[in-house]
A and B are shown apart, each in its own frame.
Chain A
Amino acid sequence: MATTTEKISEQMRLITQQGKMPPWYLKDLYRYLSAFAVLTVIYIGFRIYQGEFAVSTGLDSTDPVFETYWMRLFNFNVTFVTLFAGLSWGYLWFSRDKNLDTLEPKEEIRRYFTLTMWISVYTFAVYWAGSYFAEQDNSWHQVSVRDTPFTANHIIEFYFNFPMYVILGGCAWLYARTRLPLYAKGISLPLTLAVFGPFMILVSVGFNEWGHTFWYREEFFAAPIHWGFVIGVWFAHGVGGILLQGVTRLIELLDELEEAA
């Protein structure tokens, strides 16, 4: 009887312990979930701001209130993403691991999990930029008349959402390059494609807006001046190669781990 009670107590202790702290390979789980929460608040906040002020202040770029409500937001966005890029990329570079040759298999496994979390947060930002706010742009163009490249949706989509996923993709690339031996010895082609390809979407804003100086309307969304964005997003398929690289290495590392219960 006593043995059974002890076993139950031990099980309960283990469960409680597991409930409080994630296992070692998910050490960054709470940071990962926090990143999702922060980004969700930001993006939904943008949408609420648009719902509140776009129709009342965002239809005429010559109106002084447009300057107050939208160009100030544009200036804030550009400043914020510039600072965020410098801080996040700088932190990842200056805190890099300079002793990768002595990395233990367990620690390397944990870092592969963290890399996957970085890429996952990157794809979450890709969702908001490539799905929600991208198609919302079509909706806005069909109820307003474009008189500026800085519309109520472009200011958020082109000058916050696009740079944000570029920054987070860069973070994933830098994390891999500075903390994982295989990515430090060679430059992963699929990771580079998956990060630098969608980066070209940001650059395509220039082509798109140049095209719209000839055709100010959005006659149809599938117009060729939008296809630069399309080609950029194809490179997201590089994630398949990252998955294969990660799985192959994880299998090797798991083989090096001793069996645990």
Chain B
Amino acid sequence: MSEHDKPLKKVCIICAKGSIEDVYATLVMANGAVMEGIEAKVFFTFFGLDAITKKQMNKLHTATVGNPAMRMPGGLPFPTILGMLPGVEAGVSAMMKSQMEKLDIPPVDEFLEMITAGGGEIYACKLAMDMFKLTKDDLHDQVSGVLTVGDFYAMCGGEGTQIIFT
């Protein structure tokens, strides 16, 4: 059976982490799906909620400590002790965002708008919302609703559907 016999029709993407790379992996995959005419439903939970929380969404960071793939511009190793210094993580994160902007990758809020403009749907996890004491008002306008995991699974049926955990 080739991939053309059963094309991908829907992706259900779960994001549970709040670093730049985890959130953007989710957003790029969701947006890429709707651009190809594939239905996309995105579920943010735990620290992933930062990506849809108004106060946090455009201030995401990437970890400069405990990240072995972290390198200096030019490819030299990035000493962990440097990553601990105040301001370094913010600086590195700002640099990553500026590099992405050059490739026309938008800030998180605009990215969510791009996804929903294409018919994608964004959801928040009820359990994590309760845990972090968040309400619907704390979330960005593009969030369609707050769901239990059961509600989310109920949306993930149908032939040609894949669940992706980023």
The yes or no verdict on A and B being binding partners is no
Interface of A toward B, CB cutoff 8 Å: none
